[in-house]
Amino acid sequence: MAKFLEYVPGDSILHRLNPTVKLMGALVFAIACFATANPILLALMLACGLALAASCGMLRQTAGIMKAVAMFSAILAIIQLLTVSSGQQLLPLPWGYVGTDSLRAAATTVLRLEAAAIPLFLVFYVTKISDLTNAAVKNLRVPYKYAFTFASTVRFIPVFLNDMQGIMEAQTARGVAFDTVGPLAKIRLIVPLCVPLLVQSVRKTNSAAIAAEVRGFNLRTQASGYKEYPFAARDAVATVLVAALLLVAIAL
C-alpha cells in the first residue's frame, strides 16, 4: 500500500509524461482554478482531475486527498457564509444574513480548492521525487540547493508520519489514551507525542546533512545529473491543453 506522497509505479500516460511538464502543468491547472469563479467550469475541472486520477489508478489516494482538502475548505466556506452578506436573503443572522451570493461563493471555494489540489498531489504519486527535482534543475534551471530542500521536505513527510505512528503505538502500550474526546485532554497529549518526535527528527536531520556533505552536496551543478528528460509529442499536447484551459478560465 502506497504511503502519503509515495511514488506508485505505473505505465499510464500521466506516468510517462516529462516530469517538468507534469509539475508545470499541475501549477498552471491550479492557477486556472483560481483564475475563474465559474462554478460550472470548476466542476468540470474537478471532473477532469478525477479522470486523471482514474487513468493512473490513483482514485483511492485521491479520495483521501479530497477528504483532507474538504475539511479545510469547509472551514473557509463557513467563514464566508457567516461574514459575507450578499444576494437574496436566505437565512437571517444577528449581524447580517446568508444570501444567495455568499452561498455561491462558499460553494466556489470548496470546488476551487478540491480541483486545484488533485493534480498537484497526483504529480508526486506518478513521478519519482528524484526525477522531479533533477528535471527541475536541468530544464527549469532551478538551483540544486532549492531542489534538494524541496525533495527533502517531501521525502520527510511520510517518514514523519511513520515515526509519529510508531510513537503513538509505543505510548499507547504504556497506557496513554490517544482516543480521548476532551479537547483539553488532547492538548495534554501533545507533550508525550511531540517530544520524542522532535528528538527523532533532529537525529534524522543531522544524519541527512552528514550524508549529503559526504556525497558532495556543495559540488552539485546543473550538469551533475546523468539522466536526461527529453520532450515528446505527448508532452507538447499536454502543454497545449493546459495552456488552453488557463485561457478559458481567464476568459470566463
pLDDT, tens only, 58-102 = 888 888 888 888 888 888 888 878 777 777 776 777 777 777 778
pLDDT exceeds 80 at position 121:
yes
User: What is the DSSP track for 140-151?
Assistant: S---HHHHHHHH
Residues ≥6 apart with Cβ < 8 Å to 114: 46, 49, 66, 69, 70, 73
| 3-state DSSP assignment of residue 198 | helix
Separation of alpha carbons 66 and 114, rounded Å: 6
Q: What's the pLDDT band for 221 if we cut at 50, 70, 90?
A: low
For the residues 152-158, what does the mean pLDDT come to? 77
For the residues 195-222, what does the mean pLDDT come to? 76
pLDDT exceeds 60 at position 2:
no
In the chain, how long is the greatest CA-to-CA distance? 66
Separation of alpha carbons 252 and 89, rounded Å: 26
Joined grid coordinates for residue 16 = 510517462
pLDDT exceeds 70 at position 224:
no
Q: What's the pLDDT band for 180 if we cut at 50, 70, 90?
A: low
Percent over 90 (pLDDT), the chain: 20
For the residues 172-187, what does the mean pLDDT come to? 70
Lowest mean pLDDT among 41-50, 78-87, 165-174, 214-223: 214-223
Q: How far is the CA of 73 from the CAs of 76, 80, 249, in angstroms?
A: 5, 11, 21
More confident residue, 2 or 29: 29
For the residues 203-207, what does the mean pLDDT come to? 78
Nearest CA to 145 out of 224, 211, 217 is that of 217
Q: What's the pLDDT band for 170 if we cut at 50, 70, 90?
A: confident
Joined grid coordinates for residue 208 = 541527512
For 230, phi then psi, to 5°, come to -75, 155
pLDDT in tens, 37-63: 888 999 999 999 999 999 888 888 888
For 159, phi then psi, to 5°, come to -65, -45
pLDDT, residue 115, reads 92
Q: What letter does residue 223 receive in the DSSP assignment? A: T
| 3-state DSSP assignment of residue 86 | coil
pTM for this entry = 0.76
Amino acid at 241: L
Phi-psi region of 57 (alpha: psi -120 to 50; beta: other; left: phi over 0): left
Q: What's the pLDDT band for 28 if we cut at 50, 70, 90?
A: very high
The beta strand positions in the chain, using DSSP E, are 89-93, 96-99
CA 244 to chain centre: 23
For 25, phi then psi, to 5°, come to -65, -40
List 137's β-bridge partners, or say none: none
Lowest mean pLDDT among 108-112, 136-140, 247-251: 136-140
pLDDT, residue 1, reads 44
